Structures are given as structure tokens and as C-alpha cells.
A and B are shown apart, each in its own frame.
Chain A
Amino acid sequence: MIPYDKLPHTPIASVNSVVVKTGAWRTFKPVINYEKCIRCMICWKFCPDVSIRLEDGSSYPAQSERIKETIKEAPVIDYDHCKGCGICAEECPTKAIEMVPEEK
């Protein structure tokens, strides 16, 4: 058997891909209207780019105070990585997300 230290070197990819800012791909940008958002997190669930975070929602507007009291989090878009596919806007049950042209 070949001893471990005599095995050939194998390239290993070890840098977390968060360093890659795929937000530059975007031509349309999702914008959440927090007053329409019911915090169902369906947008979070379907995002292929893991670009919707669940953050402390206390500083965001809401449809009602009750929503803010019962659900502490709000969906927040990570524009560094969001590729602008529009899935969140398409799946949102209250049409709270609008896709607006990206200005470059």
C-alpha cells in the first residue's frame, strides 16, 4: 500500500463561493415592498441563489403591527449575490416583490 504522504497531490477547492459576487449578472433587480409583505418566506424558500436572508424585521415596515409582533424576521435581499432571476417576485403570494431594471 502507498503510504499517505507519498500519495500524489490533489487540488482541493477550499474557498467559500460567497466571495464570488454574482450580483453583477443582474439586469433586473427584485425590490420588496414591506408594506405588502406578509413574511410567509416563500421567496426565501425558492431562491436558487440563497440570496434572501431572514433578518431581524423590527426596522422594516409591515402591513400591520400584528405581523411584526408575531413574526420577528423579514426577508432581506442580498444584492451581492442575487442574479435577478425573478423567481421570488413570481412566487410571492401578495405580489410584494417588483422586478425593476438595473441601472448601470
Chain B
Amino acid sequence: MVKLTIPEIELMSPGHTGCQGCGATIAMRYALKALGEKTIVSIPACCWAVMPGVWPNNCMRVPLLYTAFETTGASISGIKAALRALGEEDVTVMGWAGDGGTADIGMQALSAAAERNEDVIYVMYDNEAYMNTGIQRSGATPLGAWTTTTPVGKTKFWERRPKKPMVDIVAAHKVPYAATLSIGYPEDFVKKMKKAKEISGFRFLHIYSPCPTGWKSPPQYTPKLAKLAVTSRAFPLYEVEEGIYRVTMKPKKTPLKEYLMLQGRFRHLTDEDMKELERDIERRWKELLLKEEMTAKLEELNE
């Protein structure tokens, strides 16, 4: 018998309309493998609102509800309340929104749901821009990136602000679980999803999902880019459980340049620019390690 490192069950069918090499479809495939059949998904406007297919086709083998762009947090709170009223206690409710739908327009509904500690999973699949409407910058677009609204020209007006730290923002609401996941590390991905499933209360998962169309990267490099983002420390893997930070992967550092230069959206950067980005990333990495060290002391308080 073959030994598989992630569950064999498939709850996302082929025939979806995601682009060639779409990271967000890999993310959904893994998420449903981990959560299983007793799951309801709510999706706002984003690429995933069109990827299940053109009516009457649908690639999702679990119930899926569409909701308005800014309402994921409210939508999943309502679904959970309805299930509770029906006495269905063992169904996992998952909100599945993009980075624009989470870090920008969905922020207040997300914050409200986190503050109420709703018993739901909120996923932000992060392709680092508003991809479905044609690559506009979002709060999650990283420093240095080209998008159609942060164009590159004589004035070099590419993205000048760092990425919003969504896990830190949600964890600051004192929710039981928040974590970063990457499609480049399927086993870690499934482990965190399963862990989130078993916890009750608000769980926030930030999933790194490369987008060949928006990043101008060759489609075959989707998993490779996801791995390089982790090893270059551009997207560290960590979790925050009851306020305690834990970096779940501390890989040997790879040069940031290797990660950046596989993507057209960073091609304009000079060596000097890349050094600036590297400094920002190193600072964030150190900050993360300090948080891990500092919050470890909270464990003693918990005892």
C-alpha cells in the first residue's frame, strides 16, 4: 500500500475554473482534506467565488454559500447560529476569503466575529492582491511589489508599505488559535487545519497561496515559490495558541533574491532595493522570535 502524507479524501473536484497552477485551489483541496465532509463553507467575492464553476457546475463536495465581499465574518457567525438552533453541533463552519476581502474590506466583520469569539474557522487565502478584478494592491501586498495600482515607472511608485500582519492583528483579539499556513508544506498545512478543527472558538488561518497570473510567475513554480517564501523568511510559518507564539518551522535561510527573481512583479527591483526588503524581512523575523521568547513566559502563568 502507498503511504500518503496527507489524507486521500478529495472534496474538491477537478473541472474548477482556477488558472493553471493556482495556489488557492491547492489550498482549498488541502483544507477540505483536513476538515472532512461535515463542513460548510462561506465565500465572499474573490477568485474563489468564480472558481467552483459556471452554474450549474460546482467543484465543491460540501455545502457552499456565497456572501457579499465585506461580510464573511458575519456570514459564518450566522451559519453557526443557525446550526446551533437546529441542534447540529458537529459541523465545522469555515469562512474562506481573499486577502482583500479580509485585510481590507472584511476587516470589521472579521474583528467583530473574533471579538465575540464565534465558534468558526476564518481562512484568509493570501495571493497578495485583488486578483479577481485584475491585480490591484491590497493591505496584504508585500513591500516592493508591482500591481496595477502600484505601477512601476520613472517615479518608481511600487508598493511602499509592508504587509499587514493579519495573524498578529487577529491574535490580539485574544482568540484561541491563529496561524500561518503555506501550500508549499502540505503536511504542516493539514496538521494546523486539523488542530484548528478540534479547537472551539474563533480560529484564524492565514494561507499563503501563490498566484501565477498576478505575480507573473511560471505556473509550475507555485509550490516552489511557497517553499522559498518560507525559507527566505518572507512568509514565516508560526502559530499563536492562547497568546503563546510558536514558530513552527525554522529552516535554513535562503537568499531573498532567489524568491523575488522568479516573479515578474519584483523584476524592477535593484540590488539596493532588494537589500532594503531583506532588512525589513530580517527585522520582522527577529521580532517574531522575540515574541516567541516573550510569550513562552505566559505558559508559566497558565499553569
**A interface residues (Cβ-Cβ under 8 A, vs B):** 11-22, 25, 39, 41, 44-46, 48-51, 54, 71-73, 78, 80-81, 83-87, 89-91, 99
Contacts and interface: CB of A to CB of B under 8 A. Distances in A.
A87 B220 contact: yes
Contacts, number: 111
14 contacts: A16-B59, A19-B15, A41-B2, A48-B21, A48-B23, A50-B10, A50-B12, A50-B13, A51-B14, A81-B15, A85-B212, A87-B21, A90-B221, A91-B224
Chain B interface main SS type: loop
Interface of B: 1-2, 4-6, 8, 10, 12-18, 20-23, 25-26, 29, 52-53, 55-59, 61, 186, 212, 218-224
Contacts of B17: 20, 22
Contact of A49 (B5, B14, B186): B14
A16 B8 CA distance: 19
B221 A17 contact: no
Contacts of B26: 46, 48
Given A50-B29, A87-B220, A89-B220, A17 B21 contact: no
Given A13-B57, A87-B223, 12 more contacts: A13-B56, A16-B59, A17-B52, A17-B53, A45-B4, A45-B5, A48-B29, A48-B222, A72-B2, A84-B20, A86-B218, A90-B220
Contacts of B21: 48, 83, 85-87
Instruction: Output the residue of A83, A86, A87, A91 with the most chain B CB within 10 A.
Output: A87
A45 B13 CA distance: 14
B15 A48 contact: no
Nearest to A84: B20
B52 A13 contact: yes
A1 B61 CA distance: 31
Contact of B55 (A11, A71, A73, A89): A11
A11 B23 CA distance: 28
Contact of B20 (A12, A25, A46): A25
- Interface hub of B8, B23, B52, B223 (most chain A Cβ within 10 A): B223
Contacts of B23: 48
A15 to B, nearest CB: 5
Contacts of B55: 11, 13
A15 B12 contact: no
B15 A85 contact: no
B65 to A, nearest CB: 10
Nearest to B1: A72
B14 A17 contact: yes
Nearest to B4: A41
7 nearest CB pairs, A to B: A86-B220, A17-B15, A20-B15, A81-B14, A85-B21, A17-B59, A13-B58
A16 B58 contact: yes
B220 A85 contact: yes
A49 to B, nearest CB: 5
Contact of A15 (B2, B57, B212, B224): B57
A85 B222 contact: yes
Contacts of A72: 1-2
A14 B104 CA distance: 32
Nearest to B224: A90
A41 to B, nearest CB: 6
A18 B222 contact: no
Given A71-B2, A90-B220, A45 B186 contact: yes
Nearest to B65: A10
A18 B16 CA distance: 8
A84 B25 CA distance: 15
B223 A18 contact: no
